[in-house]
Structure 1
């Protein structure tokens, strides 16, 4: 682990509201993306790190959720992929 940007994750309030309820995932995604847009400082830091590492190094986003398909890392990876026009695995 090179860098932990806890602040780029969803707010505590949003995480608690989501509660890993799959039915709430679409709205969670909307709200999380809004948080990233409204406070871009930490996301932009992460984006700069990713941009500087690729393509020569891998970038791994860690998350603690048990659900591999419905979590903030999926949303974050998708946003990075779109913003940086990358192929992310």
Structure 2
């Protein structure tokens, strides 16, 4: 299972490309969107995103809070869908974040790379 993360503005790669931000990327027209799906139900909530503000010293706490949010039913459905896409072939999670290594996409990629109890994906 290959799960990558990239900026939505980067050149396209092979495999499924899914935007995982809650907000539409600035400066991008919907008809020019270089991705296959928009899975905003797995994005962090607005209050969590605003609290975090991509401050590196808050990343670990952000990741813990974000994983808790992903347990909500709607987010869980989106996460399961991303797992199915990743099992079918390469998956690239797209975000407009400038700092991929401390983004919610990095947290998602880490979760998708782990096995769920009782599943072989």
TM-score band (shorter)?
A: 0.7 to 0.9
Structure 2 counterpart of 1:54:
87
Of the three residues 67, 72, 77, the one matched with 2:109 is 77
CA contact (8 A) 2:41 2:74 kept: no
**Comparing 39-48 and 23-32, the one that deviates more:** 39-48
Q: Which has the higher contact order (CA 8 A, sep 6+)?
A: 2
Alignment of 1:1-89 (within 5 A): 1-37=35-71, 39-52=72-85, 54-55=87-88, 57-83=89-115
CA–CA distance in structure 1, aligned partners of residues 57 and 67 of structure 2 = 17
CA–CA distance in structure 1, aligned partners of residues 53 and 46 of structure 2 = 11
Which structure's residues are more often helix, by fraction?
1
In structure 2, list runs of 5 or more residues that go unmatched. 1-34
CA drift at 1:71: 0.4
Instruction: Provide TM-score, normalisation by structure 1.
Output: 0.79
Q: Deviations over 1:15-43 (max 9, x none)?
A: 00000100000000000000001x13333
Runs of 4+, deviation exceeding 4 Å:
none
What secondary structure does 1:7 align onto? helix
CA contact (8 A) 1:65 1:71 kept: yes
CA RMSD of aligned residues (A): 2.0
Q: How many residues matched? A: 84
